[in-house]
Amino acid sequence: MSKSHILIVLLPVLFGISGCKDKIKKGNNSHMVDSERITFSKIKASNFETEIEGKKVGLYTLKNKNGIEATFTNYGQRLISLYVPDKDGNFDDIVLGFPSLHQYRTAREKYFGATIGRYGNRIAQGKFSIDTVMYTLATNNGSNHLHGGNKGFESVVWDGQQKSNNEIEFYRTSPHMEEGYPGNLSVKVTYRLTDENELIINYKAQTDKKTVLNLTHHSFFNLKGHGNGTINNHRLQINADRFTPVDKDLIPTGELKKVENTPFDFRTLKPIGQDLNSENQQLKYGLGYDHNFVLNTGTKNSDGLSLAAKVVEPETGRTMEVWTNEPGLQFYGGNFLKGEEGKLDKTYDFRGAFCLETQHFPDSPNQASFPSTVLSPHETYKSTCIYKFSVIN
């Protein structure tokens, strides 16, 4: 089974970078070493520099000559801040997050900006089988398994190497039976920010025993700027004729339901909040949108990717497109945000962000009709997602 690399692309903007060059230390667990450094998004490097279980944690910053800045930590491979311009050339941080490592480790919302694994989304009853062998996972979402378990990829320290001012690499081996998953799984993720404003994230994984795998990226976006109110006025388009309805525990029923004449019809741009108050059982189950869409994949670009979604924020003019070769896209409307305090003392309120996660379908290991997520020892896992940013007037 093959999935491609994740790429995030930021369209060119005519703005320069300010500030001095950061010092770089190369090697395992290396990171920007200037503890007094403060990013454009006001993140202090010293707030992330510590050791967890003998592994160094730090802050990694990628910049290009156009003013784009993306900041990461190797704790969970988290995108902490993403600093991009609006239609007037004003920059803001458009992803939710926290200003210190301590807050990431103690927060109620544990997935901000993280790499999710081994399995993004839900697995029913925390059970699946491969070749008649049953595996049991943690049930950390009611009676179901969510986002890799109690200590998924978002809660571990990755080995890291800062290869240059615009490229970093994270890697680790998830040991056999970690969180109940079979196989020693080797994962490498490379992030590169080009002067063409492409933040390229390459995922690659191999296993020594059959397993299931479904990696994704879990940034919470608000194109007005993090903590700047609801996302319900953002206009959203999803290139999907069908979605996967869920039961009360948000497990897919197995049906591929048409979006036509439902609140899930985003085939043309419409405000996210337009149909939220509709009398619809699926919206009641998710407290809003928290559903997988079955992407239309007929038209592909030169890289074999299809347009999955587009978001337009009318006040700032910021626009985001999502391109992928994955069969599904999880649209989550921030329904479980409960007012945690994030960066710059901003409050992240109910429906104050959205997530668009490219993926295979939830509970695929238990749904024979869904595309398979089984990875065998002779295969290489790859996946591609492009978050492409631009502005409109």
User: Are the C-beta atoms of residues 120 and 364 closer than 8 Å to each other?
Assistant: no
Given 31, 217, 357, 360, the catalytic residue: 357
Provide φ and ψ at 48, rounded to 5°: -120, 0
SS3 of residue 139 by DSSP: coil
Q: What is d(CA 348, CA 341) in angstroms, rounded to the nearest whole number?
A: 6
HSE (side-chain half, CA atoms, 13 Å) at 318: 25
Cα distances (Å, whole numbers) of residue 304 to 196, 202, 310: 20, 15, 18
Contacts of 132 (CB under 8 A, 6+ apart): none
Question: What sign has the CA pseudo-torsion 10, 12, 18, 20?
Answer: positive
217 as an active site residue: the answer is no
**Residue 218 bears catalytic tag:** yes
3-state secondary structure of 297: coil
Q: Which of 5, 218, 234, 360 is catalytic?
A: 218
Q: Which run of H or E residues covers position 286?
A: helix 281-286
- Of 289, 281, 285, give the one whose Cα is nearest residue 240: 289
Assess contact for 94 and 222: CB atoms under 8 A. yes
Alpha-carbon distances of 167 from 56, 64, 103, 163, 267, rounded to whole Å: 19, 10, 26, 5, 36
- CA 349/CA 346 separation, integer angstroms: 9
User: Where does 194-256 show beta strands of DSSP type E?
Assistant: 198-207, 211-212, 216-218, 235-238, 240-244
* Residues 313 and 244 sit within 8 Å (Cβ to Cβ): no
Residues with active-site annotation: 218, 357
